[in-house]
Amino acid sequence: MGINLSNFLSSKSNNARMSDFQDLDHVDGLSISVVSANLYNNNRDDLAMFYFRDGANYASAYTQSKIVSENIKWNLKQNSKRIFSLIVNTRNANAFTGKQGYESLKKLSETISSELTKKQEQDEKTSKKITPKDIMFGCTGTIGEPYPYEKISHQIPSLIKNIKYTQNKFIWMKAALSIITTDTKPKLAMEECNIGNKKVKIYGIAKGSGMIYPNMATTLAYVFTDAKLPNDILNKLLKKNITTTFNAITCDGDTSTNDMATIFATGKADNIQIKSINDKKIQTFDKSLNRVLLSLAKRVVSDGEGSSKFVTVNVKKCKSEIEAKQIATSIANSPLVKTAIAGEDPNWGRIIMAIGKAGPKINLKKLSIKFGSNKIVFDGKLHQSYDETKTAEYMKNDNIDLDIEIFTGNKSFTIYTMDFTKKYIEINADYRS
């Protein structure tokens, strides 16, 4: 899967959701800079700065792994109410780097905050003193390698010099490309909606292709809005919408040390004040945020390492949403299910296996399984009109829907995943090459 540049250049949609590229433009209060720190030794863009001239309210969700990267530790310790800059590097995860990794971020934050304060004094009528605690970091790449402080530090002057105060889709694409690792495509999404009588923008970028099995969010995902929303509302909105988006995808069943999803709100839309997540005036924003997050999450799955199929696992009629998710995840993470799908084999016995090992109780007398519109199991036994030839033909599609009904309640959950191909092995065998 390569980058469809012509599609990106010719896109005309103002509100497209799942097209390859979208016409992201300017988010007031946000500035972007992208440079090469030569972390890959090939001069590709690998370092990005997102600068909020007047600061931004924010909310983050992080990996629940017991081993986390040094940048996650840094971000959790700052507790700043407003963030002035997010710095993201690729190629190096800054995980399992200990004191060297953390102290590198501390020194970088001191340099960046000092230089941005100088820029404030030069560019703003009323300048603000930016401190190290106002800086956030995102890191992705190889675990356990020393953090490349010197390379990144050397590029800070260029990063700040190249700040673009207005954005267009070229800058957004440049930023999205700068944070990818084994991804074959940048991931961008957008929505526009209203809060009261004010139009607001919600723009997002993400990276992720492998080591994708969330326990909060997956990979790196950054969402930017000009909405005026307090941190507590942003936090509630993010956690609510993570559940059915980034927390509902899996590529390979492996949770990263660096998972991070953050939303930044510049407040420049100057919409009516929102004090509660239950305020009806924020309902449209809530739905639009979900669409942005879901679009980015689906893009991660569709770009999964070596994938040839996008798979939707719908588990319905369960006792609880938790049990529905357990069963859906068991199916989605099964290597046997994934390889059968890659081989376009309607091996429904592997679905039976995955349901059975998941843990929740099942009404075996009512259990139902469908591949697309093809009925396989009905009332707990093989459907009398099951046609394997027809089902095998369905398995040739790029998008596969698996529908399972458990009949222990009325709750449901949907997981999005991919197949396992030989290419997956090749990519991960050569990951550090």
Render pLDDT for 295-331 as a digit per residue (tens, 0 to 9).
999 999 998 888 999 999 999 999 999 999 999 999 9
Place 217 in a pLDDT band, splitting at 50, 70 and 90: low
| CB 72 within 8 Å of CB 62 | yes
Kindly list the catalytic residues: 218
Least confident range of 155-169, 241-255, 350-364, 419-433:
419-433
CA dist 202 and 292 (Å) reads 7
Q: Mean pLDDT over all residues of the chain? A: 92
What pLDDT does residue 297 have? 93
9 pLDDT more than 60: no
What pLDDT does residue 154 have? 98
Domain ranges in the chain are 14-302, 310-429
Share of the chain above pLDDT 90, in %: 83
What pLDDT does residue 398 have? 97
Task: Please list the residues that pair with 284 across neighbouring strands.
Answer: none
Per-residue pLDDT of 166-182, as tens digits, reads 999 999 999 999 999 88
> Model's pTM, two decimal places?
0.91
218 pLDDT more than 80: no
Q: How does DSSP assign 20-34, residue by residue?
A: S-------TTEEEEE
| CATH no., domain 310-429 | 3.10.20.340
Does 211 or 367 have the greater pLDDT score?
Answer: 367
Q: Which amino acid is at 400?
A: I
Q: What 3-state class would DSSP assign to 199?
A: strand
What pLDDT does residue 431 have? 67
Residue 399: CB atoms within 10 A of its CB come to 10
Is 14-302 a CATH 3.30.70.2660 domain? no
What pLDDT does residue 208 have? 86
119 pLDDT more than 90: yes
Query: What are the residues whose beta carbons fall under 8 Å from the beta carbon of 47, sequence distance 6 or more?
Result: 34, 35, 36, 37, 39, 87, 88, 89, 90, 152, 155, 159, 178
CA dist 328 and 342 (Å) reads 18
Closest CA to 181 of 215, 151, 204, 211: 211
* Mean pLDDT to the nearest integer, 410-421: 96
Place 427 in a pLDDT band, splitting at 50, 70 and 90: confident
Q: List the beta strands (DSSP E) in 29-97.
A: 30-35, 47-62, 83-89
Query: Residue-wise over 150-173: b if at least 16 C-beta within 10 A, else e?
Result: ebbeebbeebbeebbeebebebbb
